Amino acid sequence: MVEYSPPVALPETSASAWVRVVLDVPIPGPFDYRCTFPVTSGMRVIVPFGRRKLIGMVVGLPDEPAYDPKLIKNVEAVLADIEPMPEHWLRFAQFAAEYYQRPLGEVVLPALPLPLRSVSSYQGKRSGDGPVARLDLKRAPVIKAVSASEVPVLNEAQQGAVDAIVCAESFKAFLLYGVTGSGKTEVYLHAAAQALERGKRVLMLVPEINLTPQFEQSLRARLEPVAGVGGVAVLHSGLSDGERLRAWLRVQRGQARIVLGTRLAIFAPMHDVGLIVVDEEHDPSYKQQDGLRYSARDLAIWRAHDLGVPVVLGSATPSLESWVHAERGHYQRLDLPARARAVTLPSVRLVDTRRLKMDHGMSPQLLNAMRARLDNKEQVLVFLNRRGYAPALHCASCGWVSQCPRCTTFTVLHRTTPGRHQLHCHHCGYQQRVPSACPDCGDQDLQPMGRGTQRIEEHLAELFPEARIARIDADSTRKKGSAQALFASVHAGEVDILVGTQMVAKGHDFANLGLVGVLNADAMLFSQDFRAPERLFAQLMQVSGRAGRHTGHGEVIVQTGYPEQPVYQALLRHDYAGFARHSMQERESAALPPFSHQALLSAEARDLNVALDFLQSARASALEWMTQQQSTEMITLYDPVPLRIVRVDNMCRAQLLLESTHRPALQSLLRNWLPELNDLPEARKVRWQLEVDPLEI
Ligand SMILES: [Zn+2]
Ligand SMILES: [Zn+2]
């Protein structure tokens, strides 16, 4: 079956017009071309670029070209197989490019599905009307209807939240604050259904889809009766190019009325948006970590504002950024105080490990509690955010520790098959056989140092020989579909003890889970990153929320050597607000975000000094500009420093932090300073990049 898109009606334009085109190339554009075919902004064209042919997007039709017409080449083809990208979408891309200081082409083109931006898709596909090429879409998907599900009755707080959202007739940001199980999803679904009934469309962002296919199913079951079969499109990075293209086209043609997606879905080409939802808004996965380093949560706010529609940020542990906005009245806070099923929150117990005799990192208290739950036919989750068998291998006689030859980190011991181990570097992918003797002293007694999920799993199997144990982490779920299969067996009651990393914390509703044990939480507490406690608290709240969601007598045991730390004390009381108050005071007194704004220039080179020299020159150049502008008071330039893990894959890394309480001053510096950086003599010897609003420092 071949599906052709309807031909696009082209406007009349005079021949030999100039077009301004953006391309996904590292040189900042835009680039001008001559175009003898009818074309408008938002259309894609095939153009020559150097020796290559590339697909670019037309962003303007200038009266005069920006450079000598003799140097200007011709557009080879206009791609008219989809409607031009709408003006509001181009405006949104333009904002993202300016805010994150990247060329527009690096925003616009990667936002399209791969076949729509690869010249190879169009080779040999010119149709009869000359320059217009079309893409064939074979195997159009058959979308099966899911059976409609019952609509639960909302409690008073949920109803109040829905009312507030649907009453907003223009832009308004809401922070939907409610603990796990308080029924935030019902609020989204009701508000979404009402937007659909008004003929509007809904964009719903979630941190992760692959792990929670139930969410997609329940969304479709609830909203397809309103949106129509096929009215829900799912966009995430786990789709194949073909799947993503088909979903994207359904959105672009207006067939899909709800988009459910991960961060990349913020660039979905939607029309008539009536509501944007960002679930688990604090989740770090909303931040893209390479290329255009955008925050989908922050862009959602801008897009909602630009479109004049409400946006709902939901979380049990909001980011301090969003919390401060709510405290200052920029966002309206909507509280969902109680768990929707009216069961009590799990009780939290801190086990002080300082004077305890531990068994493979597990306290007697935890093991006893596990035994009791297993006897009672309940499931137990052991949470350890460290995959592999052990963080390193070491020699007790001379102190040798397994080290990656390419990075300044330890190689992690992994069990590859039962009884066989390998050393893996989690930073560069280096793999190595386990040496039979210490490379330094020849001693044959090499021991694992510390423990990861595999080792805990192995030891639990010895301690609880009757229990069925499953492990969910990045290693056990590498094969496509294996994560779903593992989660399904937990849901089906075929697992008694689940050992897992943060992968298990997200969104899963385990009906029979009575106890959560948290091992080695302190590892995150003493990270140099000022956001570490915030992230730890969010993670502990999230994983705690897995316990007793249905039984009502769930328990969480957190093992720590620092029970007096505010993050653990707040966790004991399920007191996010108290934790936020404490953290905000700390941040405010140190003038850290959200009380200031940051940008991070990082550089890498084979030699650390080369990277540091580049940053030093960059710093001097920024200082010079600031002196000219008399803005030295407004922006703090820190000294360039090496990263904690300085060498990764044989490249040495360093960074320069910029900070200001005045965002426009910082943006103005970045705008003027970045174009200069490539002209610095040191720039040729390094790879550098800039991140605006970095999440990790
Ligand atoms: Zn040794
Ligand atoms: Zn490495």
Contact between residue 390 and residue 525 where contact means Cβ atoms under 8 Å apart:
no
pLDDT at 16: 60
How many distinct helices (H) and strands (E) make up the chain? Answer: 17, 31
Q: Where are the domains of the chain?
A: 2-138, 156-336, 347-389+451-587, 597-692
Instruction: Tell me the CA–centroid distance for residue 396 and ligand 1, in Å.
Output: 7
Q: Rounded to whole angstroms, how far apart are CA atoms 573 and 121?
A: 57
Report domain 597-692's class.
alpha beta
Mean pLDDT of the residues in the chain: 91
Is the per-residue pLDDT at 7 higher than 60? no
CA of 444 to the centre of ligand 1 (A): 8
Tokens of 349: 């117990």
Residue 47: alpha-carbon gap to chain centroid: 33
Q: What is the pLDDT of residue 130?
A: 44
CATH number of 2-138: 3.40.1440.60
Residue in the block written with tokens 């459910």: 260
pLDDT above 70: percentage of residues in the chain: 93
Tens of pLDDT along 455-464?
A: 999 999 999 9
**pLDDT 10s digits, 240-251:** 898 999 999 999
Bridge partners for 636 per DSSP: 659
Cα of 425 from ligand 1 centre, angstroms: 20
Q: What is the DSSP letter of 333?
A: E
- Among the ranges given (121-135, 188-202, 404-418, 539-553), the one the predictor scored with the smallest mean pLDDT: 121-135
Cβ distance 270 to 306 under 8 Å? no
Residue 360 CA, ligand 1 centroid: distance in Å: 23
Does residue 141 surpass a pLDDT of 80? no
Question: Which pLDDT does position 6 carry in this prediction?
Answer: 38
Report the separation in Å between the CA atom of 445 and the middle of ligand 1, taken as the mean of its atom positions: 8
DSSP 390: B
pLDDT of residue 360: 92
Is the pTM higher than 0.95? The answer reads no
436 has a pLDDT exceeding 50? yes
Whole-angstrom distance, CA of residue 193 vs CA of residue 122:
39
* Backbone φ, ψ for residue 565 (5° rounding): -60, 140
Tell me which ligand sits closest to the C-alpha of residue 447: 1
- Is 266 within 8 Å of 300 (Cβ atoms)? yes
- End-to-end CA distance of the chain, in Å? 51
Does the domain at residues 347-389+451-587 carry the CATH identifier 3.90.226.10? no
Burial label for 435, CB within 10 Å (0-12, 13-18, 19+), is middle
Q: pLDDT, tens digit, for every residue of 246-279?
A: 999 999 999 999 999 999 999 999 999 999 999 9
594 cis-preceded (ω within 30 degrees of 0): yes
156-336 and 597-692 agree in CATH topology: no
pLDDT at 532: 92
Tell whether the model's pLDDT for residue 441 goes beyond 70: yes
Residues 515-519: what's their mean pLDDT?
96
Which ligand is nearest to the Cα of residue 441, counting in written order?
1
Nearest to 560 by CA among 512, 520, 587, 526: 520
Ligand of minimum distance to the alpha carbon of 443? 1
Above 60 in pLDDT, residue 28?
yes
What topology is assigned to 156-336 in CATH?
Rossmann fold (3.40.50)
**Token pair for residue 260?**
């459910």
d(CA 680, CA 621): 9
pLDDT tens across 573-589, in order?
Answer: 999 999 999 999 999 99
Residue 614 pLDDT: 98
For residue 410, the ligand closest to its alpha carbon is 2
Q: Which ligand sits nearest to residue 648's alpha carbon?
A: 2
Using CA atoms, how far apart are residues 14 and 37, in angstroms rounded to an integer? 8
Query: What distance in angstroms lies between residue 147's CA and the mean position of ligand 1's atoms?
Result: 63
Q: Which residue has the tokens 């309206």?
A: 332
DSSP state of 127: -
Q: Which ligand is nearest to the CA of 430?
A: 2
CA of 516 to the centre of ligand 1 (A): 38
pLDDT at 306: 97
Mean local confidence (pLDDT), 618-627: 96
CA of 403 to the centre of ligand 2 (A): 8
CA of 407 to the centre of ligand 2 (A): 4
CA angle 587, 522, 352 (to 5 degrees): 115
Of all ligands present, the nearest one to the C-alpha of 412 is 2
In sequence order, the β-bridge partners of residue 310 are 172
- How far is the centre of ligand 2, averaged over its atoms, from the C-alpha of 612 (Å)? 21
Mean pLDDT computed over 644-650 = 96
φ and ψ of 503, to 5 deg? -55, -30
Ligand with an atom nearest the CA of residue 409: 2
Ion ligand 1: protein residues whose beta carbon lies under 5 Å: 395, 398, 400, 438, 440-441, 443
Asked whether residue 317 carries a pLDDT value surpassing 90, the answer given is yes
Q: What is the pLDDT of residue 127?
A: 65
Closest listed ligand to the CA of 427? 2
